[in-house]
Chain A
């Protein structure tokens, strides 16, 4: 009996060890990927900040613009949801997907970015903007701008009349938070007391021309941040998986030693009582 349970424990220790090897390897991979992704996310920050700041200045003079991007219209909402291509990243995917569900607007279309987001929307039978499979890992600058141009065209055509972006903000190595941004229609800010700049060309035309680039820039920065967040989340998740595996192996080893000791004690008792009987 004791022998059988000893073998069970041995088999479990072996399997936990195998899992730990995988999680350890994944942690190392995530750590090295994180370094790259973090540099990229930080590199895209000055662009995003300067872009948003400058756009705010411009939009403050566009409150009475006739551009479709500024006017409020009735219609559906497009949610661009950026999640990961792969799982095993702790709460990373589920947090961002949950947030995308929090608003219960009617008339919602989704643009899932990343395999996990796509699977989730498909499983629930939500309407998707395109049938193209967009993965986070192969979204470079050019593709972000193409995507933004496509979104803006459909926005102009009235397929949806507001645009929201759901992604995971990279705050630090240890903290990331799912965030929702309202992108379109552009918030018409109240007139600031700054003097109006000289605009080269008609302001409506300028806005129509610049909005796709603005969306593209924001999209690119969001993708960079989401990638860094994913790596960081995965690293944290794998780190705690390692710790759990170590704890489990420790307690299993203890159990194994106790069982072995019990077998030895039993054998001695048997021999002693056997000798006494002689």
Chain B
């Protein structure tokens, strides 16, 4: 089966560039898996996991949030605000962030605070989930 040419970037730099079998990302509406030959596609990304299947069949899990995915015939681009492979995630920090977000959620007074705390909690939870799934 043909491979797809994939590029993943985040503000920290280029995270992946090269051939891969498939990429699964979490969009705002749920998970989507892209294989080579996919129709041109565009979707904003949500918060959740990503799964990259390399050409040798190995799988790498990652946590992502924000940004978008753009699929065209020549290349698939994942432009994400945060994108961390499981081995790069700081589990302790994520756990700490989760506790802090929960605290903030309890203390939140207006809708805006609640929304921010919820987004933080979702990011922390997805990091923890990815870390545990990769073990």
Contacting pair A197 B81 (CB below 8 A) = no
Contacting pair A197 B71 (CB below 8 A) = yes
Q: What B residues does A195 contact at CB under 8 A? A: 40
Return the chain B residue nearest A53 by Cβ.
Answer: B77
- CB contacts under 8 Å to A, within B1-35, are 7, 9-14, 27-29, 32
Partner of B70, one of A57, A201, A209, A220: A57
Contacting pair B40 A196 (CB below 8 A) = yes
Q: A54-B79, A195-B40, A201-B43 are in contact. Are A213 and B67 (CB under 8 A)?
A: yes
User: How many chain-B residues does the 8 Å CB contact rule pick out?
Assistant: 26
How many angstroms between the C-alpha atoms of A206 and B45 in the bound complex?
10
How many angstroms between the C-alpha atoms of A165 and B73 in the bound complex?
33
How many angstroms between the C-alpha atoms of A141 and B13 in the bound complex?
12
- CB contacts under 8 Å to A, within B22-61, are 27-29, 32, 39-44
Partner of B44, one of A43, A197, A206, A221: A206
Interface Cβ pair total, 8 Å cutoff = 85
Contacting pair B41 A57 (CB below 8 A) = no
Contacting pair A200 B12 (CB below 8 A) = no
**Looking at chain B's contact residues, is the secondary structure mostly helix, strand, loop, or mixed?**
strand
Contacting pair A197 B41 (CB below 8 A) = yes
- List the 9 shortest-distance A-B pairs measured between CB atoms, nearest first: A197-B40, A200-B43, A43-B13, A46-B14, A47-B9, A54-B70, A197-B42, A50-B9, A141-B11
Within 8 Å of chain B (Cβ to Cβ): is A99? no
Q: What B residues does A221 contact at CB under 8 A? A: 11
Within 8 Å of chain B (Cβ to Cβ): is A112? no
Q: What A residues does B13 contact at CB under 8 A? A: 43-44, 46-47
How many angstroms between the C-alpha atoms of A234 and B62 in the bound complex?
40
* Min distance, Cβ A198 to any Cβ of chain B, angstroms: 5
Q: What A residues does B10 contact at CB under 8 A? A: 47
Contacting pair B42 A198 (CB below 8 A) = yes
* Min distance, Cβ A232 to any Cβ of chain B, angstroms: 20
Within 8 Å of chain B (Cβ to Cβ): is A114? no
Return the chain B residue nearest A61 by Cβ.
Answer: B42
Within 8 Å of chain B (Cβ to Cβ): is A51? yes
Partner of A50, one of B27, B29, B41, B77: B77
Q: What B residues does A201 contact at CB under 8 A? A: 28-29, 43-44
How many angstroms between the C-alpha atoms of A51 and B80 in the bound complex?
9
How many angstroms between the C-alpha atoms of A169 and B34 in the bound complex?
36
Contacting pair B39 A198 (CB below 8 A) = yes
Within 8 Å of chain B (Cβ to Cβ): is A173? no
Return the chain B residue nearest A46 by Cβ.
Answer: B14
Contacting pair A213 B43 (CB below 8 A) = no
Q: What A residues does B28 contact at CB under 8 A? A: 200-201, 209
